[in-house]
């Protein structure tokens, strides 16, 4: 084979005959058949990832919903203890991201992500029975540890099986499930707001219901998710051959990349890692504050708790549609930075409107403006990073270090 990935640096290199090899393999792939293969792959792989992502965001961000359902009062939270609970999630989340990303290929996505999902689902269920702030802190730390493996591993897997001009839309679908989780969480929270069964308050039932749903999804997803896309159960032999040719044609698709510490440390030698880290840190501040505190922000506009939960739904739905549109344009043009800059301008506009006006209508419009930019900035930044690092272990290390 004339194309390879450098063993030390994880960069794509070519030999003089690479052009003829690419032409030969390209002609061997029927575009109609390839489209059918990718639709099947998207339906199964992105469907599984989407459900995982949706449940992870529900179980992570339900604390924002319970903030206006009486949890702080029932647990006797004082001063900044609620904020501490939000922040503690990231202590273990950050610590376990890079190890989980690196372990993805060794353990396998099916095994790693199933264990992670079961872990955060059981913990979310347990949060329905907490009685003090110490238990709240402990549960948030545990959820952070289990969820740390999900998002970097999803993005690493996307980088392993999709071409660069296919990544933005797939990433948009994932972030669309994240935004959809906000809408579902708002609807679910409003539905259980008046439940006080079994001697438990309504916020307890929100944790319990979401935890049970997550746990129930694990065996189903484990059964459906393919171990290797080249031998996937939902592809026939002709379609599997197309998938194998895609991997031969595109050397950055790296299912066969062998582990070495040199590949891991090569990420730290690349200055792009630190530029991406600064960029991702800045945009992630907006993303996680938006997801956690949106119900409280809308309630602060003068709406009752149940109505505030419901009003988060159109905001998240709009954010989903906006990001998918932006991602499609980014893939079509083949550029990331202009769209990231545009999304950042939408964020700045939203914050300015929120600070400059006291009118409810203007502030509500500002929330929609924030939704336009917040998912697009984070999602496209990850796609940009995925395209800038070749070799699975170099890319996985970068994703684990940078992504929050």
The more confidently predicted of residues 73 and 167 is: 73
Q: Which of 302, 331, 332, 319 is nearest to 378 (CA)?
A: 319
The more confidently predicted of residues 60 and 225 is: 225
Q: Which of 215, 211, 241, 221 is nearest to 229 (CA)?
A: 241
Superfamily designation of domain 3-7+15-402: MFS general substrate transporter like domains (1.20.1250.20)
Q: Look at 85-89, 192-196, 360-364 and tell me which has the smallest mean pLDDT.
A: 192-196
| Inter-helix orientation angle 202-224/167-191, to 10° | 140
CB 392 within 8 A of CB 257: yes
Residue 375: per-residue pLDDT: 85
Domain regions of the chain by residue span = 3-7+15-402
Q: For residue 4, is pLDDT > 80? A: no
Residue 28: per-residue pLDDT: 65
CA 154 – CA 103 distance, rounded (Å)? 13
Per 3-state DSSP, what percentage of the chain is helix, strand, and coil (rounded to 5)? 80, 0, 20
Residue 349: per-residue pLDDT: 95
CA 147 – CA 216 distance, rounded (Å)? 17
Helix (H) or strand (E) holding 14: strand 12-14
Q: For residue 114, is pLDDT > 60? A: yes
CA 176 – CA 47 distance, rounded (Å)? 12
Please report, for residues 7, 98, 198, 251, the alpha-carbon distance to residue 105 in angstroms, rounded to integers and kept in the order given.
16, 13, 44, 17
Residue 12: per-residue pLDDT: 44
Residue 19: per-residue pLDDT: 45
For residue 303 the two structure tokens come to 């709406």
CA angle 372, 317, 321 (to 5 degrees): 60
Residue 23: per-residue pLDDT: 46
Q: For residue 14, is pLDDT > 60? A: no
For residue 354 the two structure tokens come to 């929120």
Q: What is the pLDDT of residues 202-239, one digit of tens each?
A: 999 999 999 999 999 999 999 999 988 888 999 999 99
Distance in Å from the first CA to the final CA of the chain: 37
Sign, CA dihedral 357-362-367-371, equals: negative
Confidence (pTM) = 0.75
Q: Which of 150, 136, 145, 204 is nearest to 178 (CA)?
A: 150
Q: Kindly provide the b/e burial profile for residues 40-60, where b requires at least 16 CB atoms within 10 angstroms of the residue's own CB.
A: bbbebbbebbbbbbbbbbbbb
Q: Which of 181, 174, 170 is nearest to 58 (CA)?
A: 181
The more confidently predicted of residues 392 and 339 is: 339
Residue 40: per-residue pLDDT: 94
Q: Which residue has the tokens 């539905």?
A: 191
Q: What is the pLDDT of residues 125-144, one digit of tens each?
A: 999 999 999 999 999 999 99
Residue 181: per-residue pLDDT: 80
Residue 180 pLDDT level (bands cut at 50, 70, 90): confident
Residue 43 pLDDT level (bands cut at 50, 70, 90): very high
Please report, for residues 111, 147, 289, the alpha-carbon distance to residue 119 in angstroms, rounded to integers and kept in the order given.
12, 8, 24
Q: What is the pLDDT of residues 284-331, one digit of tens each?
A: 888 888 887 888 888 888 888 778 878 888 998 898 889 889 988 988
What mean pLDDT is reported for the chain? 84
Residue 49: per-residue pLDDT: 92
For range 8-21, the mean pLDDT:
45
Residue 253 pLDDT level (bands cut at 50, 70, 90): low
Residue 71: per-residue pLDDT: 92
Cβ neighbours for 25, distance < 8 A, ≥ 6 positions apart: 245, 248, 249
For range 52-66, the mean pLDDT:
87
For residue 297 the two structure tokens come to 């922000």
Residue 404 pLDDT level (bands cut at 50, 70, 90): low
Q: For residue 271, is pLDDT > 80? A: yes
DSSP 74: H
Residue 347: per-residue pLDDT: 94
Strands 12-14 and 3-5, sheet pairing: antiparallel
Residue 149: per-residue pLDDT: 83
For range 242-252, the mean pLDDT:
78
Give me the residues paired with residue 3 across strands.
14
Q: Kindly provide the b/e burial profile for residues 15-25, where b requires at least 16 CB atoms within 10 angstroms of the residue's own CB.
A: eeebeebbeeb
For range 375-399, the mean pLDDT:
82
For range 2-31, the mean pLDDT:
50
The more confidently predicted of residues 397 and 38 is: 38
The more confidently predicted of residues 198 and 124 is: 124
DSSP 1: -
């Amino acid at each position: 084979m004339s194309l390879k990935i450098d063993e030390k640096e994880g960069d794509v290199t070519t030999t003089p005959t690479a052009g003829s090899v690419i032409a030969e393999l390209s002609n061997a792939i029927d575009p109609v058949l390839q489209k059918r293969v990718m639709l099947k792959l998207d339906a199964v792989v992105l469907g599984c990832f989407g459900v995982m992502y949706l449940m992870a965001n529900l179980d992570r961000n339900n604390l924002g919903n319970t903030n206006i359902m009486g949890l702080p009062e029932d647990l006797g939270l004082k001063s900044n203890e609620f904020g501490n609970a939000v922040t503690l999630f990231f202590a273990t989340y950050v610590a376990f991201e890079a190890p989980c990303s690196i372990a993805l290929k060794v353990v396998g996505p099916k095994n790693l992500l199933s264990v992670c999902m079961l872990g955060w689902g059981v913990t979310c269920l347990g949060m329905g029975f907490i009685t003090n702030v110490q238990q709240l802190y402990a549960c948030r730390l545990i959820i952070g540890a289990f969820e740390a493996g999900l998002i970097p591993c999803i993005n690493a897997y996307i980088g392993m099986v999709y071409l660069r001009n296919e990544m933005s839309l797939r990433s948009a679908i994932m972030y669309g499930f994240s935004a959809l989780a906000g809408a579902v969480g708002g609807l679910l929270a409003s539905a259980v707001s008046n439940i006080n069964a079994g001697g438990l308050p309504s916020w307890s039932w929100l944790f319990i219901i979401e935890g049970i749903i997550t746990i129930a999804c694990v065996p189903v997803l484990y059964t459906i998710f393919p171990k290797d896309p080249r031998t996937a159960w939902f592809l026939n032999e002709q379609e599997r051959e197309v998938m194998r040719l895609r991997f031969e044609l595109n050397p950055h698709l790296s299912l066969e990349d062998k582990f070495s510490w040199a590949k891991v440390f090569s990420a730290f030698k690349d200055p792009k890692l630190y530029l991406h880290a600064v960029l991702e840190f800045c945009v992630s501040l907006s993303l996680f504050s938006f997801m956690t505190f949106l119900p409280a922000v809308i309630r602060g506009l003068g709406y009752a708790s149940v109505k505030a939960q419901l009003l988060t739904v159109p905001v998240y739905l709009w954010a989903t549609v906006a990001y998918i549109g932006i991602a499609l344009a980014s893939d079509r043009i083949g550029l990331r930075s202009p769209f990231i800059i545009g999304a950042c301008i939408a964020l700045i506009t939203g914050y300015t409107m929120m600070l400059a006006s006291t009118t409810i209508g203007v502030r509500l419009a500002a929330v929609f403006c924030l939704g336009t930019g917040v998912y697009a900035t984070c999602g496209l930044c990850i796609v940009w990073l995925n395209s800038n690092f070749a070799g699975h272990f170099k890319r996985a290390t970068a994703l684990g270090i940078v992504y929050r």
